[in-house]
Amino acid sequence: MKRIALSLAGCLAFPALAWGQQQPGGRIQWRGGEEYDAAMAEAKKYGRPILLYFWAEWAAPCHQHDRGVFSDDAVVKASEKFVRILVDYKKHPKIMTETWKINGIPTFFFLDPDGNKVDGREGVMPSDNPDTLVSHFNSILEKHGRFPRWADTLEAALEKGRRDRMPVILFWTDGKEASEEYARSFGSAALKDLLRRFVWVRLKLVKKGNPAVARYAVKGAPLLLVIDPRDDAPLVRCEGVREPEALRAELDAALGKVRR
């Protein structure tokens, strides 16, 4: 681990130009330190874990990861499920020294949606093996993410539901406002753990020709529909946005039917 007081003197022999024009953080799209508070609030609002990366121009391990594992396609894709914050020590030293009270660079932390550190050590970077890092990302998401498990298609969701004895939730929204209201409900204490026991699929807005519209008699959005994957039968039909506690009672009942 490099200490700030020592590392600056020890690394000045490596000028910024020696690293070329490498983007800080590789190909991962990071929020900067100037957005730290907003990004932390977003993570809490939507139940997304956080990648917090303390970076410095003069730190060789930062550039090695930026050029390597942080530019790997699979790692970049896996990171998209997190809120990602890169704090440049030179631009935002107080976040590091006062907010987190650490003095080692590089440092890489995993945080839960409430901003609590759940993994990572001061002065230590994550694995430089892409497969290992993607697996670790997925493990953090599984343990600390507060959002549902999404399937890519309706048929994939039904297949997973049958295999794992999990109800399937079909979710239509009619715009950003409704989506944000649902996101607040999904991340609430009343629902966050329960929803992980369902398979989800988000469908496009109601349109003519969409087979799921006729299949489930969809007349408008927002709509949340719970399906028994064994026989494709609706168990819960929630039109509009419902309070978390009321929705929880119906979801509990649906889960019980499928698990019997």
* Residue range 28-56, pLDDT digits in tens: 999 999 999 999 998 887 778 999 999 99
For residue range 233-246, what is the model confidence (pLDDT) as tens digits?
999 998 877 788 88
Tell me: pLDDT of 8 over 70: no
CATH number, span 4-144: 3.40.30.10
Count how many Cα atoms sit within 13 Å of the Cα of residue 167 in the half-sphere of its side chain.
28
For residue range 214-226, what is the model confidence (pLDDT) as tens digits?
888 887 777 889 9
**pLDDT for residue 196:** 78
Beginning with the edge strand found earlier in the chain, give each strand of the sheet holding 199-202 in spatial order. 149-150, 199-202, 168-172, 223-228, 233-239
Looking at this protein, which amino acid is placed at residue 91?
K
Of 67, 58, 140, 142, nearest to 106 (Cα)?
Answer: 58
> Are 186 and 195 contacting, i.e. CB atoms less than 8 angstroms apart?
yes
Q: Which fold has domain 149-259?
A: Glutaredoxin (3.40.30)
Beginning with the edge strand found earlier in the chain, give each strand of the sheet holding 83-88 in spatial order. 31-32, 83-88, 50-55, 107-111, 117-119
* 17-26 core/surface letters (b: 16 or more CB in 10 A; e: else): eebeeeebbb
Terminal C-alpha separation, the chain: 53
Domain borders along the chain are 4-144, 149-259
Q: Are strands 223-228 and 233-239 parallel, antiparallel or unpaired?
A: antiparallel
> Are 56 and 62 contacting, i.e. CB atoms less than 8 angstroms apart?
yes
Looking at this protein, which amino acid is placed at residue 166?
M
Q: Is it true that 4-144 and 149-259 share their CATH fold?
A: yes
For residue range 71-113, what is the model confidence (pLDDT) as tens digits?
999 999 899 889 999 999 999 999 999 999 988 899 999 999 9
Q: Which two tokens stand for residue 130?
A: 């892409």
Give the Cα separation of 172 and 224 in Å (integer).
6
- pLDDT tier, 212 (very low <50, low <70, confident <90, very high otherwise): confident
Can you tell me the mean pLDDT for 243-256? 90
Strand partners, 32: 86
Give the Cα separation of 126 and 136 in Å (integer).
9
How far, CA to CA in Å, does 153 sit from each of 122, 183, 201, 220?
Answer: 41, 20, 6, 20
Total-model pTM: 0.59
